[in-house]
Amino acid sequence: MFREVELPEKLLKDQAPHAGEEAIREIRRLAQGMENLSVLHINSTSYGGGVAELLYTIVPLMRDAGLDARWYVMDNVPPQFFEVTKKIHNSLQGAKTPLTDNEWELYGDINMKLAKNFPPGPWDVVIIHDPQPLATLAFLDDLPESQKPAVGRWFWRCHIDLSTPFAATWQKLVGYVNRFDGAIFTSRKYAQDDLKIPVTEITPSTDPTSTKNAIVPDEEGRKIIASFGINPERPLMVQVSRFDPWKDPFGVVDAYCMLKAEKPDLQLAMVGSIAHDDPEGVELLGKLKKVAEHDQDIHVLSNEDGVGAAEVAAFQQLATVVVQKSIREGFGLTITEAMWKMRPVVAGNATGCRLQITDGVDGFIIGSTEECKEKVNEILENPDLALRLGRAARETVREKFLSTRHVANYLKLFAQSQ
């Protein structure tokens, strides 16, 4: 039921040219006394989602700091389980989608099996990410002492915007959450009042050394996007995200169509990946491709079309403007990636987007399709504005949202909980 993820080697010293030497020294200072601290991260999938992307960087960096950090994912789980947990995800973000008794039974059954097959440890710290394996701790508590792993501290890390959950779903889950020693949220604003455990705020990050953030030579980038039918000489509007209704992809298409009437040269690329734990994404991708059939300048592309990290880097780097029109957003990793590449970003008025962007300073926050169209047009019409926003955006990321800051915040939490 669990599989350890094979991790790449990532070194703190390689982060220094981007984050600065002081950021590395801070991590080394914080890690003193934590040599060989055993830390286990658990989430649902090793591919396709933002959580997986984060863990591929922060777990190896924790190792380089001297911790015994591991990452396990759920394995051999039936696809019906992920259909249920996607409903849970959506309802925690506010969708009124109650689960049936059978769906809750399946959720409990899988978490019980996870508990019975939990990595044996011992572990000083265990961090359970998001709702999929959330109930595992409750079922571990019900096992005989001889079958329980030795664990020092348990944390639930919620990556979802939990500020307006569907009450029926949250009431089913809050009891599981309150069994933990603490909860970690991207923003304290997401934490509900009925949490009885300490809450820590840790924002996600982007890895400046990753393939997705590597500088793509201009000519190579132009060839990459041209291979997908895009003309590099014409303006390009890009949204990179999972194919998820909360990202409002059809709203992006609508904003593009409104602009297209005034700017016939404009192109739109909707770029994303299909995550292993997101069956809803396949359906939405198909609908978007259907819409794109009516306009040869709309390009809907995924990993199934050969889009990987290098291709995403090229799209973000060569975009005239990047859009992230999220209705709900815990934290938009693709926003941070685009900001790091000095691209002007137009993002939805979701809490996570507002955490990342200061409106009018390092990007724009918009509340409607019409406003999205207006701000994208403003950027297209004013290259100096695009340059100013992009430069400010990169400095925002350097100051707040690089992997080194993320690791340092985790180390501070571990120090407080020892």
State pLDDT tens for residues 340-372: 999 999 999 999 999 999 999 999 999 999 999
11 neighbors 95 (Cβ within 8 angstroms): no
Same domain, 200 and 220: no
Same domain, 413 and 396: no
Same domain, 117 and 17: yes
Same domain, 384 and 407: no
Q: How much is the average pLDDT of 140-158?
A: 93
Residue 43 clears pLDDT 90, i.e. is over it: yes
Q: How much is the average pLDDT of 9-24?
A: 98
Please report the DSSP string for 6-41 in residue order: P-----HHHHHHHH-HHHHHHHHHHHTT-TT-EEEE
203 neighbors 331 (Cβ within 8 angstroms): yes
Q: How much is the average pLDDT of 218-243?
A: 97
Of all residues in the chain, what percent are helix, strand and coil, respectively (each to 5)? 50, 15, 35
* pLDDT value of residue 275: 67
* pLDDT value of residue 50: 87
Residue 69 zone, left/alpha/beta (φ > 0; ψ -120 to 50; rest) = beta
Residue 186: pLDDT band with limits 50, 70, 90: very high
Residue 417: pLDDT band with limits 50, 70, 90: confident
What CATH number did the domain enclosing 69 receive? 3.40.50.2000
210 neighbors 240 (Cβ within 8 angstroms): no
Residue 182 clears pLDDT 70, i.e. is over it: yes
Tokens of 151: 């664990």
Same domain, 195 and 316: no
Residue 103: pLDDT band with limits 50, 70, 90: very high
Same domain, 409 and 386: no
Same domain, 396 and 408: no
125 neighbors 295 (Cβ within 8 angstroms): no
Same domain, 255 and 362: yes
* pLDDT value of residue 47: 82
The two counts, helices (H) then strands (E), for the chain are 16, 13
Least confident of 121-135, 201-215, 278-292, 385-399: 278-292
Same domain, 284 and 154: no
Domain extent at residue 271? 211-400
Same domain, 191 and 226: no
* pLDDT value of residue 15: 98
Q: What percent of the chain has pLDDT over 90?
A: 93
Residue 159 clears pLDDT 90, i.e. is over it: yes
What CA–CA distance (Å, rounded) separates 160 from 106? 22
How many angstroms separate the Cα of 184 from the Cα of each of 26, 190, 359? 21, 10, 26
Query: How many domains in the chain?
Result: 2
Average pLDDT, the chain: 95
Residue-wise pLDDT tens digits, 233-243: 999 999 999 89
Residue 185 clears pLDDT 70, i.e. is over it: yes
Same domain, 387 and 409: no
Residue-wise pLDDT tens digits, 269-284: 999 987 666 777 888 9
* pLDDT value of residue 277: 64
* pLDDT value of residue 142: 87
Same domain, 228 and 342: yes
